[in-house]
């Protein structure tokens, strides 16, 4: 190791461990860094859904940091593990996906991950590469190294056990497979959320048995979803996707609670919110910066401006809205119009009963006036704004 490298090491360690919740084992990590070669840093992702959200970005951002220090990032796309679904933190068996579905997700997933990682310096491996080749005999051998008790100690399983909920045999394969990935790529470091503790430890054990140096587990905090309580996840619908349009991303961020905002500052920006600032102002800043990260400064500035006009000044007229064209002949009632607007402009299927409820409760408005009569056939001149609910409105377009 040369002199300059030696000097920069403390800084490197400090940065790489910033925002990290736990390291197993820190001393081993320091030893590995002193080896003076690029470390193989593994991050596994399961393409169980086509989108990645802010929760995933914690791991990706950390991986990027490793890349920037010259380490080798290995992104494992768990095409085989995704078919099982990680049982971590789950109280029910995940629905099983076909390999085709998984591969479709994987493609979009990779693109999104590369928004954060350096594509030139990232090795991408699919774990199907090795699992596909294993015989049943190999699988049995692999399984013989782990005891059922170890598996069942995990909270998610023991809870299900206690509650009498089923645990299917394939689910306990998951940690074994994830661990085997580490063996196959000879990982030096594996990144993961704190909920990955068990899975990553299995990797360590398997590596040891294979005579490899054990990987170091670096555990990142779990990002709460927009509800502020549960882990951000697609299935709980409390996520902010990295490909969401700027306006939506900004809006979702503005909708979080103040206490969650502190958390997001901490985890996503790795800093504290500005002192002596109104929470709302701080939140706008958070929303702006995160939006800028996944879009552009200009997009973020526009999102902020639109937000202020729309929600602070309550000026729907001046804001860009989806356009809903109404054909001349259709003298439809409000219910059908609103229903169609939801469907065409927002891809949301609302039943007519549901729309009637919204009407009755005063959600639908024109010029701030509530339209509560479902049978009404209101005047809807060209260009007028039809408010559907708190966050959605359309501009009516009539062919002239």
The footprint of RNA (CB under 7 A) covers 161, 164-167, 227, 250-251, 254-258, 261, 279-280, 283, 307, 311-312, 351-354, 356-363, 374, 389-391
Nearer to RNA, 64 or 94 (CB): 94
- For residue 245, CA distances in Å to 18, 105, 223, 250, 301 come to 30, 19, 21, 9, 13
243-266: burial string, b at 16+ Cβ within 10 Å, e else? ebebbebbbbbbebeeebbeebbe
Nearer to RNA, 7 or 278 (CB): 278
Find the shortest distance in angstroms from Cβ 364 to RNA.
8
Find the shortest distance in angstroms from Cβ 65 to RNA.
30
Nearer to RNA, 14 or 271 (CB): 271
Find the shortest distance in angstroms from Cβ 133 to RNA.
30
Find the shortest distance in angstroms from Cβ 249 to RNA.
9
Taking Cα atoms as reference points, which of 26, 173, 165 lies closest to residue 85? 173
Q: Which helix (H) or strand (E) covers residue 45, if one does? A: strand 40-45
**Tokens 């619908």 map to which residue?**
237
Nearer to RNA, 270 or 312 (CB): 312
Nearer to RNA, 166 or 399 (CB): 166
Find the shortest distance in angstroms from Cβ 265 to RNA.
13
Q: Which SS3 state, helix, strand or coil, does residue 220 take?
A: strand
Bridge partners (DSSP) of residue 122 are: 73
Nearer to RNA, 92 or 107 (CB): 92
Find the shortest distance in angstroms from Cβ 309 to RNA.
11
The C-alpha atoms of residue 14 and residue 22 are separated, in whole angstroms, by 13
The set of residues, in sequence order, having a beta carbon less than 8 Å from that of 79 and lying 6+ positions away, is 47, 99, 102, 103, 106, 126, 127, 128
- What is 100-150 written as a DSSP string? HHHHHHHHHHHHHHTTTS-GGGEEEEETHHHHTT--HHHHHHHHTTS-HHH
């Amino acid at each position: 190791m040369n002199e300059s490298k030696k000097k920069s090491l403390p800084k490197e360690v400090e940065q790489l461990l910033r925002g990290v919740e736990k390291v197993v084992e820190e001393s081993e990590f320091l030893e590995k860094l002193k080896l003076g070669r690029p470390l193989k840093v593994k991050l596994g992702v399961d393409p169980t859904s086509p989108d990645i959200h802010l929760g995933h970005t914690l791991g990706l951002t950390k991986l990027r940091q490793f890349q920037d220090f010259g380490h080798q990032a290995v992104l494992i796309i768990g095409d085989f593990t995704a078919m099982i679904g990680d049982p971590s933190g789950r109280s029910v068996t995940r629905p099983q996906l076909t390999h085709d579905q998984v591969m479709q997700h994987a493609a979009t997933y990779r693109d999104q991950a590369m928004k954060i990682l350096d594509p030139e310096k990232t090795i991408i491996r699919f774990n199907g590469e090795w699992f596909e080749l294993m015989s049943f005999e190999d699988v049995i051998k692999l399984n013989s190294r782990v005891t059922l008790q170890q598996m069942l100690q995990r909270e998610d399983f023991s809870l299900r056990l206690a509650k009498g909920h089923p645990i299917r045999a394939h689910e306990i394969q998951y940690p074994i497979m994830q661990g085997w990935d580490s063996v196959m790529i000879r990982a030096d470091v594996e990144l993961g959320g704190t909920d990955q503790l068990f899975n990553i430890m299995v990797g360590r054990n398997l590596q040891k048995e294979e005579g490899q140096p054990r990987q170091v587990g670096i555990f990142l905090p779990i990002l709460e979803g927009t509800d502020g309580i549960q882990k951000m996840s697609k299935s709980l619908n409390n996520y902010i996707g990295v490909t969401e349009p700027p306006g939506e991303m900004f809006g979702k961020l503005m909708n979080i609670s103040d206490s969650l905002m502190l958390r997001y500052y901490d985890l996503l920006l790795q800093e504290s919110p500005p002192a002596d600032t109104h929470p709302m102002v701080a939140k706008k800043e958070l929303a702006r910066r995160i939006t800028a990260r996944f879009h552009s400064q200009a997009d973020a500035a526009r999102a902020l401006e639109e937000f202020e006009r729309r929600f602070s000044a309550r000026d729907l007229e001046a804001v860009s809205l989806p356009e809903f064209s109404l054909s001349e002949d259709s003298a439809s009632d409000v219910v059908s119009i609103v229903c169609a607007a939801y469907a065409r402009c927002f891809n949301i299927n609302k039943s007519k009963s549901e729309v009637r409820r919204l009407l009755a409760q005063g959600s639908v408005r024109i010029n701030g006036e509530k339209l509560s009569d479902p049978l009404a056939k209101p005047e809807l001149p060209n260009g007028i704004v039809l408010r559907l609910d708190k966050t959605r409105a359309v501009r009516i377009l009539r062919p002239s």
